[in-house]
Amino acid sequence: MGSRTATVAAAALLAIPLAPAAPAAASAGSSASAASAAAEDTYADYAELAANEVEGTDYQRITRAGGTDVAHIAIHGGLIEHPTSELADHAARSGGHAYASFEGIKASGNSVLHITATNFDEPMTVDIVEDSDYTIAWHGAAGDEALTYVGGLDTDLRDAVREELRAADFTAPEEVPDGLKGESPDNITNRNARDEGVQLEITRAQRDAFLTEDGAPTSTFYDFTAAVEEAVAQR
């Protein structure tokens, strides 16, 4: 995999300890269907977002090179779909994989920074994905039941992730709602060197179980990322 230079200071890259959980007003908390999400997005693409928001004040971009053919990404990171950045970062560090995150850092109103996965074209993340053979995209979904919907065009890795999550006592339904399947070729997770990736849509209830009230990672956080990495190791 080609190397990429981290563009943010090392301190900003550390995912542990985690920041406190985002308040409801600061987090979009869900990924809708590609069509409806795109219609609801404030910005159609990264160029439009960058023309209206201030990098370093409203959002930040983080990339880190890895030593494998795998990339973990969180395109709705920070306070957009918390704590997907922390999950992706920890999983990437665990396996020495590449990492990319687009993070909302506003005090509130981070949902305006959501660009749906089929329109997401932030160039630093695109470079990380295109340099990978296997991509895991971490997203947040709505829901008061602890579930993880596993989609994407990489059916072998998708099925392995689902099986490992179940083996670790997480609920990963076989049926994925139409809006969360991640099967469009335009989806950022499917734009790697093999044209197929995996998309994790993790419900609000499941994400809440990853953090203590103080924002520290729970054992559930580590069990979940370990299960995903176990599947990745089987690729």
Question: Is 4 within a domain?
Answer: no
Task: Please count the structural domains in the chain.
Answer: 1
pLDDT at res. 6: 41
Question: Is 6 within a domain?
Answer: no
Range of the domain at 126: 24-232
**Beta carbons within 8 Å of 212's beta carbon, 6+ residues apart:** 218
Longest dimension (CA), the chain: 45
CATH code where residue 46 lies = 3.40.630.100
184 within 8 A of 151, measured Cβ to Cβ: no
**Beta carbons within 8 Å of 16's beta carbon, 6+ residues apart:** 86, 90, 217
pLDDT at res. 23: 38
pLDDT at res. 14: 37
Question: Is 5 within a domain?
Answer: no
Percentage of the residues of the chain whose pLDDT score is greater than 90: 83
pLDDT at res. 185: 98
Higher-scoring residue by pLDDT: 139, 11: 139
Mean pLDDT (the chain, rounded): 89
In this predicted structure, the answer to whether residue 197 has a pLDDT above a threshold of 70 is yes
- What are residue 135's phi and psi, to 5 degrees? -130, 135
Question: Is 13 within a domain?
Answer: no
**pLDDT tens, position by position, 113-143:** 999 999 999 999 999 999 999 999 999 999 9
Question: Is 59 within a domain?
Answer: yes
In this predicted structure, the answer to whether residue 226 has a pLDDT above a threshold of 80 is yes
Question: Is 154 within a domain?
Answer: yes
**pLDDT tens, position by position, 15-62:** 344 444 443 333 444 444 455 566 799 999 999 999 999 999 999 999
- What are residue 177's phi and psi, to 5 degrees? -55, 145
In this predicted structure, the answer to whether residue 200 has a pLDDT above a threshold of 70 is yes
Question: Is 15 within a domain?
Answer: no
Question: Is 11 within a domain?
Answer: no
Higher-scoring residue by pLDDT: 3, 127: 127
Percentage of the residues of the chain whose pLDDT score is greater than 70: 83
Q: Specify the range with the lowest mean pLDDT, choosing from 13-17, 194-198, 220-224.
A: 13-17
